[in-house]
């Protein structure tokens, strides 16, 4: 995958993450898989690229009054704890199982949006 494609993919991830308050990983994982990353590496890299986008989005939301520290801090602490647990689970979850779980989450999220 060429640098231009990586930059455009990253921009898409950041835009989706910033616009919807999340979901950048659902774009990052397929992009990284298409670029030759294995399932685990794609998920690990997706977390690494979504983290800065999420931080920047949270800061902008905070500065524009869309979120308060009273809401942001407890959710951020919970998200960080969940991230640690997820990273540990990633090490022991096989690629096919990870792909199935990810696909299931994408399907459920899509169905929730429709209904």
* Domain count across the chain: 1
For position 6, what pLDDT does the model report?
Answer: 85
- For 80-94, write each residue's pLDDT tens digit: 899 889 889 988 999
Task: Calculate mean pLDDT across residues 36-50.
Answer: 89
For position 27, what pLDDT does the model report?
Answer: 87
CA–CA distance from 10 to each of 28, 29, 32, 105 (Å)?
Answer: 7, 11, 10, 21
Q: How confident is the model at residue 2 (pLDDT cuts 50, 70, 90)?
A: confident
Map tokens 């096919």 to a residue: 96
Instruction: Report the alpha-carbon distance of residue 11 to residue 52 in Å, rounded.
Output: 12
Instruction: Report the alpha-carbon distance of residue 44 to residue 89 in Å, rounded.
Output: 11
The yes-or-no verdict on residue 1 having pLDDT over 80 is no
101 membership: H or E segment, kind and range: helix 95-114
For position 104, what pLDDT does the model report?
Answer: 94
Task: Calculate mean pLDDT across residues 30-53.
Answer: 89
- For 44-101, write each residue's pLDDT tens digit: 998 888 888 888 888 998 999 999 999 999 998 998 899 889 889 988 999 899 999 9
Range of the domain at 95: 3-114
């Amino acid at each position: 995958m060429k640098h231009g494609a990586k930059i455009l993919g990253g921009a898409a991830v950041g835009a989706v993450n910033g616009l919807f308050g999340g979901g950048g990983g659902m774009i990052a994982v397929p992009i990284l898989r298409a670029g030759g990353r294995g399932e685990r590496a794609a998920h690990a890299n997706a977390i690494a690229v979504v983290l800065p986008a999420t931080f920047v989005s949270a800061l902008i939301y905070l500065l524009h009054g869309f979120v308060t520290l009273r809401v942001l801090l407890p959710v951020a602490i919970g998200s960080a704890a969940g991230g640690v647990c997820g990273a540990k689970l990633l090490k022991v979850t096989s690629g096919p199982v990870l792909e199935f779980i990810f696909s299931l989450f994408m399907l459920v999220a899509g169905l929730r949006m429709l209904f």
